[in-house]
Structure 1
Amino acid sequence: MTKQHANWSPYDNNGGSCVAIAGSDYCVIAADTRLSTGYNILTRDYSKISQLAEKSVMASSGFQADVKALQKQLSARHLIYQHQHNKQMSCPAMAQLLSNTLYYKRFFPYYAFNVLGGLDNEGKGCVFTYDAVGSYERVGYSSQGSGSTLIMPFLDNQLKSPSPLLLPAQDAVTPLSEAEAIALVKTVFASATERDIYTGDKLEIVTLNASGIHREYMDLRKD
């Protein structure tokens, strides 16, 4: 099967893919662990997932120096928030903070494309998807990175999230159980790995639910 060289910037030293799916009482965030520049694989074991707060996890693709700078900025702002309010920031609050942080740099933006997932104040799964300058939306599922053009049509077909323009508004969480969502994530990455040269090696899956955060890994193609 022929693999495609995605239309990805030469300044990007991490293609790859990340996915998040929100459920009624859980959120699944996943990303591959390949870090590459052009046709060169720099490492096969690089985590693109960062825990920002107790119930907030971010997966990022793009230029990794900018991603690290963004994570450092969010971590510092979250620490200030904890000192001022004596509590962890909620996932919707972290989503707004991430949007503000990206928008503040809109004239020289972070080359980072993020999905933020976690649990809201009601214990429901929530997923927020972003562009590079801070525009964001709460959705039931999302994907970013070089493999997103392969993954999103598959997720649309399987999950059929309601349009945010529908009135009355419908709940965006997906109807799948947690185990079904994890199985779907594994399937979409196995598929994307066949076609995208920047996605591969290993899949890192982070699941948030009422009992905490759990990680698991699955091997992907290494060519």
Structure 2
Amino acid sequence: MTKQHPAWSPYDNNGGTCVAIAGADYCVTAADTRMSTGYSILSRDYSKIIKLADKCVMASSGFQADVKALQKLLAARHLIYQHQHNKQMSCPAMGQLLSNTLYYKRFFPYYSFNVLGGLDNEGKGCVYTYDAVGSYERVGYSSQGSGSTLIMPFLDNQLKSPSPLLLPAQDAVTPLSEAEAVDLVKTCFASATERDIYTGDKLEIVVLNKDGIHREYMELRKD
């Protein structure tokens, strides 16, 4: 099967693909572990997912040096928040903080494309998807990165998220069980790895629910 390599892509610097799916009482966030530039693989075991709070994780694709700078800034601001309020930041609050942080740098943006996943104040799964300058939206599922153009049509077909324009507003969480969502994520990445040269090596899956956070891994194609 022929793999795709566009003449130029905004994900050429380090690449990678991220996916997040929100359920009734869980959130599944996943990313591959390949870091590459052009045709060169820099690392086959690089995690693109970071825990920002007990109920919030972020997965990032794009230029990983900018991603690291963004993660350090968010961690510092979250620490200040904890000292001031004696509690951790909720996932919706972290979503707003990330949007503000990206928008503040909009004229020289962090070259990162993020999905934020976690549980909201009611214990429901929530996913926030971003562009590089901070525009964001709460959705039931999202994908960012070089493989997102392959994965999003498949997720749209399988999950059929309600339009945010519908009135009365419908809940954005997906109808799948936690195990079904994990299986769907594995299928997405197994397919995208066949076509996208920036996605591969290993899949890291982070599942967040009322019991906490746990991780699992799946091997992907290494060529």
Same fold (TM over 0.5): yes
Report the equivalent of 1:9: 10
Matches within 5 A, 1:172-183: 172-183=172-183
Q: Tell me how far 1:105 sits from its aligned partner.
A: 0.3
Report the equivalent of 1:104: 104
Distance 2:81 2:67 in 1: 21
Question: Quick check: 1:206–1:216 contact (8 Å CA) kept in 2?
Answer: yes
Indicate the SS of the match to 1:180.
Answer: helix
Indicate the SS of the match to 1:21.
Answer: strand
Could you state the TM-score of these two structures normalised by the residue count of structure 2?
Answer: 0.98
Distance 1:8 1:192 in 2: 16
Q: Structure 1: any 5+ residue segments left out of the alignment?
A: none
Give CA deviations for 1:72-93 in whole Å, capped at 9, x if unaligned. Answer: 0000000000000000000000
Q: Tell me how far 1:62 sits from its aligned partner.
A: 0.5
Distance 1:25 1:103 in 2: 30
Distance 2:46 2:13 in 1: 12
Could you state the TM-score of these two structures normalised by the residue count of structure 1?
Answer: 0.98
Report the equivalent of 2:190: 190
Distance 2:132 2:166 in 1: 26
User: Does 1:95 find its partner at 2:95?
Assistant: yes
Give CA deviations for 1:132-159 in whole Å, capped at 9, x if unaligned. Answer: 0000000000000000000000000000
Fraction of identical pairs, as percent: 88
**Count, aligned residues:** 222
Report the equivalent of 2:118: 118
Indicate the SS of the match to 1:168.
Answer: coil
Q: Tell me how far 1:9 sits from its aligned partner.
A: 3.4
Indicate the SS of the match to 1:161.
Answer: coil
Report the equivalent of 1:170: 170
Matches within 5 A, 1:119-158: 119-158=119-158
Report the equivalent of 2:64: 64
Report the equivalent of 1:55: 55
Report the equivalent of 2:35: 35
Indicate the SS of the match to 2:187.
Answer: helix
Distance 1:16 1:103 in 2: 23
Q: Tell me how far 1:16 sits from its aligned partner.
A: 1.3
Indicate the SS of the match to 1:102.
Answer: helix
Indicate the SS of the match to 1:93.
Answer: helix
Distance 1:220 1:151 in 2: 15
Question: Quick check: 1:8–1:15 contact (8 Å CA) kept in 2?
Answer: no
Give CA deviations for 1:98-136 in whole Å, capped at 9, x if unaligned. Answer: 000000000100000000000000000000000000000
Read off the aligned partner of 2:215 and give its amino acid letter: R
Distance 2:186 2:150 in 1: 14
Question: Quick check: 1:47–1:204 contact (8 Å CA) kept in 2?
Answer: yes
Read off the aligned partner of 1:152 and give its amino acid letter: M
Q: Tell me how far 1:14 sits from its aligned partner.
A: 1.4
Q: Tell me how far 1:202 sits from its aligned partner.
A: 0.1
Distance 2:10 2:22 in 1: 29
RMSD, matched Cα:
0.8
Indicate the SS of the match to 1:3.
Answer: coil
